[in-house]
Chains A and B, each alone.
Chain A
Amino acid sequence: MAIQTDWVSSAQAITGRDHLAVQAVSEHLYATLLPGITNVTDRARCYSFYPWFIWKFDQVARKKNIDELVRLFRRGECLHSLIGITHELDTQNEWAHGGGLVGRDTLVAVARKVREGKTIRLSQYSSVDAEPEDRYFKNKLGGLGQYYLGPLKELEVLDGDVRTGVRYTSEWGTTLARVYDRAVDGNAFFEIVRKDQVNLVDIRSLRSFCPCGLRKNHPERDTLVDLLFCRGQGDLKHEIGVERRNTLLLLLDFARRTGKMAGTPINPQLFLSGCYSQFLPDGSPWAVHSLLEKAAEGWCIYQRQELLAIAVQGMFWGGLAALLLEGGYVPDIKSYAIWFQRHFVSPSDPHFAGTSFAEITEVRKASQPLHSNWQSPDHELGLAEDLLEAQKQNDCSAVVSLSIKLLTSLIARQTSGSPYGRFEISDGFFEMYRINLASLQRFSGDTWTSLNGGEWVEWLAANWGIRTHLRVALRKLRHQTQDSFRIVPLDDGLHVREAPVAKWSSSRLTQALRFLYDLGALDAPTDIENGSYALTEFGADLLESELARC
């Protein structure tokens, strides 16, 4: 009989994210609105580089097996990134050239060495067996495997996987490879990949491979526009991408309208504010083309979901952060809810605690700014920004107060229709992700109506705080054996481990804006920090022609 005596191991502790499972709903929405572009696909030209590499490999490789493909591909992807990064260092322009390229964190230092005159061996950085500090990427298929393969398969540009081999498709894959090939010296590129040695002269001679080259190679640019804007014919037509096309057009439309307003930066948050309120930053209404109405409505719902997420995350952060300052312990959830209410509500606003929920929302309805006035600090968009700012200052009381006000504002602003409009979301999905606009509507119409302010806040702290978090963390424990508890249920009660910060989801809009820049539809940001873009002549023509065509 085998006997083993040991300590019981703990589940793997992780920081985790989305501790209230509220951003998962946002993710579902943005994945619907912007398919084919992800949070980690930063450069549009990679959509043609990857099929080109595999197409060229088929033509020139002596051995055509998966191991050889992986070996040469990793060198090739490494070289591709070095070309962009070197161009960036030569011009001091990260945005246009090396920004967002695969393995950048490791390869910037390598590019600097090359610029100092050193000849390097690509395999020192590309080999899967390279030293971890040298290796540009861990995934066997590099950034293609980790980031780009999924969306490129979704777009029917590539097919397969690292086990069975990656293939380009006969429609999009071949077309993109051919138009890319015409603008680059593919034989020289593969010669260096094979030789495994590269110096500065070699890299500069391959500058046509830099992501900036897309703007100059019009056949390639037009093919990518066909792909992303569903403009192709026959087999090349992509109906599934209509949502993406409409979002990209909506971004261009927003750029066109705000471009006339001096000093107005175009960034994802500003765009979302416009969609949410249907008003532009100068206060004029944003009347979108009928083709884009559904996309605008979709992003409006997305932003409303995000505001809800910020409110509940803020309340959770504020509660845990304040509790940490008092020892970080409560015996149970009920005690936490009572402590939360007494700590945050009673001292600052004794009247609120005794006021009925209905009166609280009625007062807010009467006092909140018009939807159009979204630049007002009292508008829900302003409240969310103030909340995040207060969080940076570690002001727990301000964060909780703003969270409650934001939630009240969302309730006061809601209408009687379906909160998710045209989005098809199953009940099973909402069972998993219980904090959502539908449950906000439901609770504000029944459960909460019998509560006063103090009781409501207690309900929120318990149910949309700790209970939801424990359910989410237990789900993680069950599926991944990972411990993501931020407040840990131990034998004697609940112990705060860390207060997770409230933050906006990453909506893919940053990547979409950069794609539009790479394609030449938007001009380089003058202020990269704020992502300030301007519509180009090509972008304006594209917008007009698409609106006319569709």
Chain B
Amino acid sequence: MPDADELSLYREIHSRGYEASIIGTYSLDFQFYERVVLRRLQSSGCRHNIVLADAKQCAKALGSNEFYPRFCGLDYTLLPVQSALSFHPKFIFLLGRRKSRLILGSHNLTASGFGLNREITTAFDI
């Protein structure tokens, strides 16, 4: 069981009151995003969803042929970010009419980033 003081990213993306999300990541797992994260965001009313990911990592994920994104461009926007070296920030920005929450930490948009690894994060209520 998770420590009561720890922060659950699964719970965060399932919170009500947000209508948009912007997730920044270095590496990403499309299957994890589409089957877990996006579904949880949508089921809690978050309809506008954007992913910013390192372009090279994006290409790597698509090139593996392991999982081809089915909802990209339909249910969410993917922005591969070109950078001379790497695009490396990791954040989840949840935006609602009355509240916003920025979660900034070490977590990539992967199952390991969402808690299989030991990751640290800071949440700001704005």
Contact = CB atoms under 8 A, between A and B. Distances in A.
**A, B from the same assembly:** yes
A59 interface: no
B84 interface: no
Interface stretch (B15-23, B32-40, B47-55, B69-77): B32-40
Interface string B1-36: 111011111110000000000000001010110011
A489 interface: yes
Contacts of B113: 8, 491
Given A10-B2, A490-B117, A5 B111 contact: no
B97 interface: no
Interface string B82-126: 000000000000000000000001011011111111111111111
A477 to B, nearest CB: 5
Contacts of B29: 489
B107 A8 contact: yes
B124 A333 contact: no
Contacts of A332: 64, 66
B125 A1 contact: yes
Contacts of A470: 31
Interface residues of A, number: 27
Interface in A469-511: 470-471, 474-475, 477-478, 481, 483, 485, 488-491
A483 B116 contact: yes
Given A12-B1, A489-B29, A4 B112 contact: no
Contacts of A2: 123-125
Contacts of B115: 8-11, 483
Given A3-B122, A9-B3, A475 B116 contact: no
B8 to A, nearest CB: 5
Nearest to B123: A4
B124 A1 contact: yes
Interface in A1-49: 1-12
B66 A4 contact: no
Interface residues of B, number: 40
A202 B3 CA distance: 48
B124 A489 contact: no
A11 B36 CA distance: 12
Given A12-B1, A477-B111, A478-B36, A7 B120 contact: yes
B20 to A, nearest CB: 19
Contacts of B9: 8
Nearest to B29: A489
B94 to A, nearest CB: 14
Most buried by B among A333, A471, A475, A478: A478
Contact of B105 (A8, A11, A481): A8
A10 B116 contact: yes
B2 A491 contact: no
Contact of A489 (B1, B8, B111): B111
A478 B35 contact: yes
Contacts of A10: 2, 115-116
Contact of A7 (B6, B110, B116): B6
B36 A7 contact: no
Given A1-B124, A490-B117, A9 B35 contact: no
A491 B116 CA distance: 10
B7 A491 contact: no
A6 B120 contact: yes
Contacts of B107: 8
B73 to A, nearest CB: 21
A12 B35 contact: no
Pick from B6, B31, B115 the residue with the most CB of A within 10 Å: B115
A497 to B, nearest CB: 10
Nearest to B107: A8
Nearest to A482: B10
A489 B116 CA distance: 9
Given A10-B2, A470-B31, A474-B35, A4 B7 contact: yes
A1 B112 CA distance: 29
A215 to B, nearest CB: 46
Contacts of B112: 488-491
Given A6-B5, A490-B112, A474 B119 contact: no
Contacts of A483: 115-116
Contacts of B11: 481
15 contacts: A4-B122, A5-B121, A6-B5, A6-B6, A6-B7, A6-B121, A7-B119, A8-B113, A8-B115, A10-B2, A12-B2, A470-B31, A474-B32, A488-B116, A491-B110
Interface of B: 1-3, 5-11, 27, 29, 31-32, 35-36, 39-40, 64, 66, 105, 107-108, 110-126
Nearest 6 CB-CB pairs, A to B? A9-B2, A9-B6, A10-B115, A8-B119, A2-B125, A6-B7
Given A6-B121, A489-B111, 19 more contacts: A3-B123, A5-B122, A6-B5, A6-B122, A7-B3, A8-B105, A8-B107, A8-B118, A9-B2, A9-B3, A10-B116, A11-B114, A11-B115, A471-B31, A477-B36, A481-B10, A489-B116, A491-B110, A491-B113
